[in-house]
Amino acid sequence: MEALLVPSLAKIDRIIQETPDVRTYRLKFKDDSISEKFSWQPGQFVEFSLLGSGECTFCISSSATRKGYFDCSIKRAGVVTADIHTDLEEGDDVGIRGPYGNWFPLDDIKGKNLLFVGGGIGLAPLRSLIQYCIDNRGDYKDFTILYGARTSADLCYKEEIEEWKKNTSIKVVLTIDKPEETWKDNVGVVPKILEEVVKPEIANTKVITCGPPIMIKYTLQSLDRLGFAPKDVITTLEMKMQCGLGKCGRCNIGSTYICKDGPVFTYEQLKALPDEF
């Protein structure tokens, strides 16, 4: 068991400051043989350890279709993430275990319209899937990304969003909560924009959403109002996790282990779980 909990070393290739409190760490394994074996699906997560400070769970925010590296976007929140932000520099070593968890139902969404609804750092797990889908663009129909943040400074992946905007086959809708002078896009919270601006097609559409709990709550309500079936709404959950192996019991909700049976759930599955998250 202890052997399963030992991380492998990875090197920080690049650090990208996304917003004042979010940084993206581009990682490469030091050992090439691990690097070759390491493959993941969009939606899976890794245990990222800063040796000496502890372990944290982060989703992989890049797609396996872009080879040779993987990204973790980390928001400064607790003690370990604060240490990660202050201590780590490009070229430093960190420990990585994983990938763990399930992934977005890639087969189910094939041939469907896709609507991504993200808020704040919640775009990170979606980005993995977005990249995957862009790389396999032929498999999917309409492609809409709705992304909101508190202020324009809090929008992650700005460069990449610009690229997506240039891509004519993708519809990108950005929004921020409060008006700003230089801001030309939409203003308003995500659920409102979803109903008033995006006006998604209901039939043959899958919605993939992730964001802060309060956003998820209202987005799910407005998706309900728009008439989406709960099984067509996919989200990823966050719980405090430590082992990622289904042993430590921390992420238990009912008889479900979020780290093994999740973190990706459909709204239908979520409804069946006890109200404890």
Partner 1 sequence: MDYSKQIQDIAAKLFAEGKIDVFVGYRMNGFDDNQVPVVINDPKEVPALVFTEKSVFNLSNYLKADHTRNKRVGLVVKGCDSRSLNLLLTESQVKRDNLYIIGIACEGVVDEKGQKMQNCIECIVPDAVVYDEMLGSPRGKKDYIVNADIAGLAVKGLVERREYFEEIFDNCIRCNACRHSCPLCYCAKCCIDQETATIYNGSNTASSAFHALMTWSLHLAGRCVDCRNCEKACPSHLPRIFCINRTRR
Partner 2 sequence: MSFSTFVTDKDGLQKLYEAIISKHETYAPVEKFGKYDYKKVSSLKECDPDSPIAMTMSVKPLFFPRASKIMKYEATSAGTSIHETGQDQLSGPRVILGVKHCDARGLQVLEAVNKWDYIDSDFLNRRANTVIFSKRCDKADTQCFCTSLDYDLENLDALDVAVVSGPGGKVYLQARTEKGENFLKENLGKESAAGSQQALDEMKKQYEAFAASFRLKMDYKDVNEKMSKRFDSTAYEEATRNCVSCNTCAFICPTCHCFKISDEKIKDTGVRYKSYDSCNNVYFTLEAGGHNPRPAKYRRWRQRSMHKFVYYKERFGVNLCVGCGHCAISCPVNISIFEVVNHVAAAPMEV
Residues that bind partner 2 (CB under 8 A): 1-9, 49, 51-56, 77-81, 93, 95, 213, 238-240, 242-243, 245-250, 252-255, 260, 274, 276-277
Task: Check if the beta carbon of residue 153 is closer than 8 Å to that of residue 247.
Answer: no
The position carrying tokens 């069946």 is 272
Residue with Cβ nearer partner 1 (102 or 242): 242
Residue with Cβ nearer partner 2 (44 or 49): 49
Q: Which of 249, 247, 244 is nearest to 60 (CA)?
A: 244
68 touches partner 1 by CB under 8 A: no
Cα angle for residues 21, 23, 25 (degrees, 5° grid): 160
Q: Name beta bridge partners: 16.
A: 24
79 touches partner 1 by CB under 8 A: yes
80 touches partner 1 by CB under 8 A: yes
Of 48-56, 164-172, 238-246, 254-262, which part binds partner 1 (CB under 8 A)? Answer: 48-56
Query: At 225, is the secondary structure helix, strand, or coil?
Result: helix
Task: Check if the beta carbon of residue 101 is closer than 8 Å to that of residue 193.
Answer: no
Ramachandran category for residue 97: left, alpha or beta (phi over 0 → left; psi -120 to 50 → alpha) = beta
Give me the least distance between CB of 115 and partner 2, in Å please.
Answer: 26
Give me the least distance between CB of 207 and partner 1, in Å please.
Answer: 36
Q: Name beta bridge partners: 203.
A: none
Residue with Cβ nearer partner 1 (80 or 88): 80
Interface positions with partner 1 (CB under 8 A): 52-54, 78-80
